[in-house]
Amino acid sequence: MQGTVEDVDVPSASDVLRRCRELVRPALVDAVGRLHPWTGEMAAYSLGWSDTAGTPEPGGSEGKGVRQALALLGAEAVGADAACAVPGAVAVELVHTFSLLHDDVMDADTLRRRRPAVWKAYGTGPAVLAGDALLARAVTGLAETPGHHAAAVRRLCDALNDLVAGQAEDLRFEHRPWDGPGAVGPEEYRSMAEGKTGALLGCALALGAVLGGAPEPTVAALDRAGRHLGLAFQAVDDILGIWGDPATTGKPVHADLHRGKKTHPVLAALAGGSRAARELGTLLASARPTDAAAAERVASLVEEAGGRAATRGEARRHLDAARDALRATPLTRTAARELDVLFAGLADRVM
């Protein structure tokens, strides 16, 4: 039946995500169960499965599982059964969890999905250890997968290196001036965001295709689509980091402004050259907006100088590029439509 009647039986993005989470869940539970019990407890907390006492908290703070869904859809899109991509889905989900744990330590972010970050709940050392355990387990699971493991492990490793380099760039950007010769240029921002966010989304799709036995050009196209999706995703995240509702984002209001992060809306606003851009430049050069009123003023100026609109445009362009990459690739119809729904749903958060 599927794919024979236009626009009828296409599930919603949340249906797609739920189906994929259910398919991956047993293997993800098994992987976490192989960790040392203490790091396993922190992993379960981080995944939103339990509270700090280890008591199950079903569903409450669980992530959407975008990366695991991309891995399964990557396999289905090349005509394979989703089951063959489960080890890839587990690996990218564990790597994502590792990166959240360590990034929260590095960024001193105290909240994650409306709960204390792992380092706040368990301490910095334990959070570092739990991240290490998740990373080791992610690579191990994939290395133990029979079949196409060599290419899959290399894909995961490449994404890991990109992810860490992107995080390094992001941290270094905080020490750079807002404008002048040392300012962060658009290409540098893009490279950071592609590493930090795009690499793992691209890897998720590519791993699904690799495990599904797809030829290299198809794998590369899916990787490209995922990287563009990641850039759209990061643009959306940057908008939410300034104007997002804490009740939805689970993070403090204006968090990125208080930390002086070099996000796309601010960089785009400063590049505008309008009166608001100049005032914004002066304000940011004088001091980091540490109180609510100062952050509010910065947010207004960024909007007035066109930063929010420019970032929305950036998100749309990369979303279009991601969809174009999918359309230019021979993929099975149902999975391609589900990917399209998923891609649109992710960018929809601010459009």
Where do contacts with a copy of itself occur on this chain (CB under 8 A)?
34-36, 38-39, 102, 105-108, 124-126, 128-129, 131-133, 135-137, 139-140, 143-144, 149-150, 153-154, 157-158, 160-161, 163-165, 167-169, 171-172
Nearer to a copy of itself, 131 or 306 (CB): 131
Nearer to a copy of itself, 111 or 168 (CB): 168
CA angle, corner 89, sides to 320 and 26, nearest 5?
140
Cβ 161 to a copy of itself shortest distance, Å? 5
Nearer to a copy of itself, 171 or 341 (CB): 171
**Residue 77: HSE in the Cβ half-sphere, 13 Å Cα cutoff:** 33
Residue 117 burial (CB count, 10 A): 21
For residue 147, give the 3-state DSSP assignment. coil
Cβ 351 to a copy of itself shortest distance, Å? 33
Cβ 260 to a copy of itself shortest distance, Å? 15
Nearer to a copy of itself, 24 or 91 (CB): 91
Question: What interhelical angle do 275-286 and 292-304 show, nearest 10?
Answer: 150
In whole angstroms, how large is the CA radius of gyration of the chain?
20
Cβ 229 to a copy of itself shortest distance, Å? 22
Given a contact cutoff of 8 angstroms between Cβ atoms, the answer to whether 77 and 339 are in contact is yes
Nearer to a copy of itself, 26 or 125 (CB): 125
Nearer to a copy of itself, 20 or 153 (CB): 153
Cβ 289 to a copy of itself shortest distance, Å? 21
Cβ 192 to a copy of itself shortest distance, Å? 11
> Which secondary-structure segment (H or E) carries 213?
none
Given a contact cutoff of 8 angstroms between Cβ atoms, the answer to whether 319 and 228 are in contact is yes
**Whole-number Å distance between alpha carbons of 167 and 198:** 12
**Whole-number Å distance between alpha carbons of 239 and 45:** 27
